[in-house]
Amino acid sequence: MKLDSKIPSGPLAEKWNKHKFDLKLVNPANKRKFEVLVVGTGLAGASAAASLAELGYQVSCFCYQDSPRRAHSIAAQGGINAAKNYKNDGDSIHRLFYDTIKGGDFRAREANVHRLAEVSLSIIDHCVAQGVPFAREYGGMLDNRSFGGAQVSRTFYARGQTGQQLLLGAYQALSRQVGLGAVKMFPRTEMLELVVVAGHAKGIVVRDMVTGKISSHAGDAVVLATGGYSNVFYLSTNAVGCNVTAAYRAYKKGAAFANPCYTQIHPTCIPVSGDHQSKLTLMSESLRNDGRVWVPKQKGDKRLPHDIAEKDRDYFLERKYPSFGNLAPRDISSRAAKEACDEGRGVGPGGLGVYLDFSDAIKRLGEAKIRERYANLFDMYERITGENAYRMPMRIYPAVHYTMGGLWVDYNLMSTVPGLFVLGEANFSDHGANRLGASALMQGLADGYFVLPYTIGHYFAHDKPARPQAGSAEFREAEAAARTRVQKLLAIQGKRTTRSFHRELGRLVWDKCGMARSEKGLKEALQRIPALRDEFWSNLAITGSGESLNQALEHAGRVADFLEFAELMCLDALTRDESCGGHFRTEHQTEEGEAKRDDEHFSHVAAWEFQGEDGRPLLHKEPLVYEGVHMSQRSYK
């Protein structure tokens, strides 16, 4: 395997324009001869499926939910970045590019990030044209707010439901194409295998989640927009159905997996309340615009927040990072909260929480203003905790939220398997070792609306891939493999439920490969994961059959893949013997406890190649070269 990033030559700011011209085109009349299979209908998948169908390609689109409108992009709250500079506060494409590279702790691919910043402008224009009801000022112009890791206001939002509104925009565009007959939609359908014929991605094997029928779809290219793998931690802010299966199956068919250890812990989530918990709920980072984060100065101070005088409070983010204060990037804020709790100064049950306090903002702006900005978040907090955050501070704690790692892609978003494109959170490309707030929505839509529609045509026109042969030996083999797997799971007939395995795996990787990682801990995890996996395959309890709707079976299939993937994640974390962004190795920190990079040895993308069930994955390195920025120690002080 050779990693060729295909980064265009020429000055950074001109690469994408030049590349667009250099890309070969497919004649409009010929586009309908190509069929594209799009898996996933979040921002990246829905926008790609709609845009490709608009161009004239035949598209089949798959999602595991009952409707494409339910993909988890819908839950993104805070906003979407774009370098519009509507606020006249000094924003520019270069600044958005720079902030994203720096926020990612200099571990992202520069050319991709610059392109992302460039197309951010078109995304906002297009979404407004679709009827996305962004927040407006009284003059009728679009409103912006600021977000972590940036000193300009460039975040566009629709109350606390920006992801919902952007996804509905993409869903509506997709629905229009379904209505026109240009997209065939397959909801409640889960991808189980990738089909590779003569080295090219030519199809997928899917399971109809209602009838249990396993079947194949053939196409000229496959697009995976299947999101991230946060649910390997069991508890995360992802939807309970989010999984790594599609990406991991592609990895096993030859797609390199890049930087799996880069996971993002979000600082503002509602703390865990007990063992029954099935997921964690995020409170948008936008709350940090007006909320102040603090813990008591004294260890074990059990007084109610109102009773703790100003002088006895430690506003630790403002103290440690005076220039960014409560808006320090996510990885830094999360670790600072963890440190405060580790010191015994955490609040709430189990001492795993810090306060996010709005009383100053309410005094300054009035409750009505705060209500206008965040009412839905405050309501959600109240429903979950039973507490009123207008009267007392919220309690928050970090939780796994996003995964920067993903399948390796080149500049054209193509993986190491020709014809397999990977978009959005499922790829690795744009966020380096830490993603800035309001950048995930930007990347998903950039990939789907404005990158893939150009680059996929080049693959068809330049590579001239052979027509797919449905029913060929490769398809039959892949289908048989998927069937065998389902039967194997059902045949175990053991005693332990999938959930109990998932919970144990989650706790293990959270402890050993979560906010802080060490060589010792990772080695221990690498010992324990295979043992847990063996127990899973010998003692799993599922009821029912494969020929009907069977949610226990669906969950088991996903957890089976998490149990393998977790090992790859820990291996990557162990191999990356430095700290960077969200990957914090306790052995590598500055005197002030910040992540200490080792640019000499680790300024590369780590891309892992599958080497068979018993082989150790093979590491390939894509060196990261920076032309437009100077690599520096991140400082938000």
Partner 1 sequence: MKLTLKVWRQKDGDSRGEFATYQANDINPDMSFLEMLDEVNESLLARGEEPIAFDSDCREGICGACSMVINGLPHGGRKATTACQLHMRLFEDGETVTVEPWRARAFPVVRDLIVDRSGFDRIIQAGGFVSVSTGGAQDANVIPIPKPDAELAMDAAQCIGCGACVAACKNASAMLFVAAKVSHLAILPQGRVEKNRRVLRMVEAMDSEGFGNCTVTGSCEAVCPKEISLNFITRLNQEYAVALLKSTGQSAR
> Which sequence positions are flagged as catalytic?
330
DSSP-derived secondary structure letter, 461: I
Output Rg (C-alpha) for the chain, integer angstroms.
24
Q: Give the DSSP letter string of 268-283.
A: EEPPP--TT-----B-
Q: Could you tell me if 609 and 1 are in contact, meaning their C-beta atoms sit under 8 angstroms apart? A: yes
Shortest CB 290 distance to partner 1, Å: 20
Q: Do residues 170 and 163 touch, judged by C-beta distance below 8 A?
A: no
Residue closer to partner 1 (CB basis): 133 or 471: 133
Give the nearest distance from C-beta 469 to partner 1 in angstroms. 31
Cα–Cα distances (Å) from 25 to 44, 112, 150, 220, 412, in that order, read 22, 21, 38, 16, 14
- Cβ of residue 31: shortest distance to partner 1, in angstroms? 14
Residue 85 Cβ vs partner 1, minimum distance, rounded to whole Å? 11
Measured from the CB of residue 448, what is the shortest distance to partner 1 in angstroms?
9
CA nearest to 562, candidates 277, 241, 274, 276: 241
Give the bridge partners for 397, in sequence order.
Answer: 269
Q: How many CB atoms lie within 10 A of CB 576?
A: 23
For the CB of residue 228, give the shortest distance to partner 1 in the complex, in Å.
14
Given a contact cutoff of 8 angstroms between Cβ atoms, the answer to whether 406 and 263 are in contact is: no
- State the nearest-atom distance from the C-beta of 430 to partner 1, in Å: 19
> Is the Cβ of residue 195 or residue 380 nearer to partner 1 in the bound state?
380
Compute how many other C-beta atoms are within 10 angstroms of the C-beta atom of residue 252: 17
- The residue (of 6 and 188) whose beta carbon lies closer to partner 1 is 188
Q: How many residues are present in the chain?
A: 637
Question: Rounded distance, CA 427 to CA 421, Å?
Answer: 9
Task: Kindly state the helix (H) or strand (E) to which residue 37 belongs, with its residue range.
Answer: strand 35-39
> CA 535, CA 542: separation in Å to the nearest integer?
14
CA atoms of 213 and 241, how far apart (whole Å): 19
- Of 129, 114, 124, 140, the closest CA to residue 84 belongs to 124
For residue 284, the tally of other CB atoms under 10 A from its CB is 26
Q: How far from each other are the two terminal CA atoms of the chain, in whole angstroms?
A: 42
Q: Which is closer to partner 1, CB of 56 or CB of 418?
A: 56
Identity (one letter) of the amino acid at 298? Q
Residue 34 or 64 with smaller CB distance to partner 1: 64
Q: What does 509-542 look like in DSSP terms, one character per residue?
A: HHHHHSSSB-HHHHHHHHHHHHHHHHHHHHHEE-
The C-alpha atoms of residue 178 and residue 199 are separated, in whole angstroms, by 31
- To partner 1, the closest distance from the beta carbon of 259 in angstroms equals 26
The one-letter amino acid at 375 = A
CB of 380 or CB of 566, closer to partner 1: 380
CB count within 10 Å of CB 212 equals: 16
Measured from the CB atom, is 240 or 368 closer to partner 1? 240
Closest to partner 1 by CB, 61 or 255: 61
